[in-house]
Amino acid sequence: QKEVEQNSGPLSVPEGAIASLNCTYSDRGSQSFFWYRQYSGKSPELIMFIYSNGDKEDGRFTAQLNKASQYVSLLIRDSQPSDSATYLCAVNIDRGSTLGRLYFGRGTQLTVWP
Amino acid sequence: GAVVSQHPSRVICKSGTSVKIECRSLDFQATTMFWYRQFPKQSLMLMATSNEGSKATYEQGVEKDKFLINHASLTLSTLTVTSAHPEDSSFYICSARVALAGGYSTDTQYFGPGTRLTVL
């Protein structure tokens, strides 16, 4: 069974701090990984994706992937109160096919306090 | 770019009625669309994969006769919840993959704003 695990939190950090969100996955063959942000009552919005081991930076966000450890993380630098949301980790479970289905973790609730 | 719309955004219906939800990709063609359901405080659960011009592929445990999916064009997929019951009340979200030239698609899914269904 393909699983994506996240610490549900809540994670609480002060404004300006670095928020670190973690995700592990069970399918060693997974190839692509996504971070989405979901505000309460809204649908997910894409933050970034990562395919290769290492770090990928986009503005204040950095995704880190370690396929050997089956671990992907998201760092948010200079956290702002507007970053308060639930962060969803998603893994493409259809390696080798064109289906492109995503398996989502339960999400980590982040609160950034002023 | 990559905007996905859903209609309606909210619907309240009586038990036993059918409800149709539309998902449209507004500025791109989507060879594949996905339908998810999300209960409060839960994650997104994939219900089915919808490909243009072919039958939808349903995830294990999802009743295909209850959740009818039609992908009529490269920009429109519909989900019909038939004979809805209170336990079908949920947040239904669609997503779409961008179709690139040559028939390929990116992995990235873009989500619609969701439809909140309440069955009385």
Query: What CA–CA distance (Å, rounded) separates B26 from B42?
Result: 28
Identify the pLDDT of residue B72.
Answer: 83
Token pair recorded at residue A31: 């190839």
Model confidence at B11: pLDDT above 80: yes
Residue of chain B nearest A90, judged by CA positions: B44
Residue B102 in 3-state DSSP? Answer: helix
Identify the pLDDT of residue A60.
Answer: 97
Asked whether the beta carbons of residue A44 and residue B57 sit closer than 8 angstroms, the reply is no
Q: Phi and psi of A95, rounded to 5°?
A: -65, 140
Does residue A101 belong to the interface with chain B, where contact is any CB pair within 8 Å? Answer: yes
Q: Which long-range contacts (CB under 8 A, 24 or more apart) does B45-52 make?
A: B45/A104, B46/A101, B46/A102, B46/A103, B46/A104, B47/B79, B49/A99, B49/A101, B50/B77
pLDDT higher at B99 or B10: B10
Model confidence at A13: pLDDT above 90: yes
Beta bridge partners of A22: A73
Give residue-wise pLDDT tens across range A37-68. Answer: 999 999 999 999 998 899 999 999 999 999 99
Token pair recorded at residue A96: 């080798």
Query: What are the percentages of helix, strand and coil residues in chain B, rounded to 5?
Result: 5, 55, 40
Query: What CA–CA distance (Å, rounded) separates B36 from B24?
Result: 15
Beta bridge partners of A51: none
Identify the pLDDT of residue A73.
Answer: 97
Give residue-wise pLDDT tens across range A61-110. Answer: 999 999 999 999 999 999 999 999 999 999 987 765 566 788 899 999 99
Enumerate the residues of chain B whose CB falls inside 8 A of the CB of residue A92. Answer: 107
pLDDT higher at A22 or B72: A22
Q: Considering only residues 15 to 54 of chain A, which have any Cβ-Cβ distance to chain B shorter than 8 Å?
A: 32, 34, 36, 42-46, 49
Query: What CA–CA distance (Å, rounded) separates B93 from B23?
Result: 9
Identify the pLDDT of residue A100.
Answer: 77
Using CB atoms, which residue from B42, B45, B112 is nearest to A43? Answer: B112
Q: How far is A40 from chain B (nearest CA, A)?
A: 10
Confidence of residue B77 (pLDDT cuts 50, 70, 90): very high
Enumerate the residues of chain B whose CB falls inside 8 A of the CB of residue A100. Answer: 32, 97, 105, 107, 109
Query: What CA–CA distance (Å, rounded) separates A17 from A15?
Result: 6
Across chain B, mean pLDDT equals: 90
Asked whether the beta carbons of residue B108 and residue A98 sit closer than 8 angstroms, the reply is no
- Residue B90, CA distances (Å) to A55, A58, A69, B81, B115 in order: 36, 33, 35, 11, 8
Confidence of residue B74 (pLDDT cuts 50, 70, 90): confident
Using CB atoms, which residue from B43, B105, B112 is nearest to A104? Answer: B43
Token pair recorded at residue A110: 């982040």
Residue pair B93/B114 in contact (Cβ under 8 Å)? The answer is: yes
Enumerate the residues of chain A whose CB falls inside 8 A of the CB of residue B34. Answer: 101-102
Give residue-wise pLDDT tens across range B78-117. Answer: 999 999 999 999 999 999 987 655 555 566 788 999 999 9
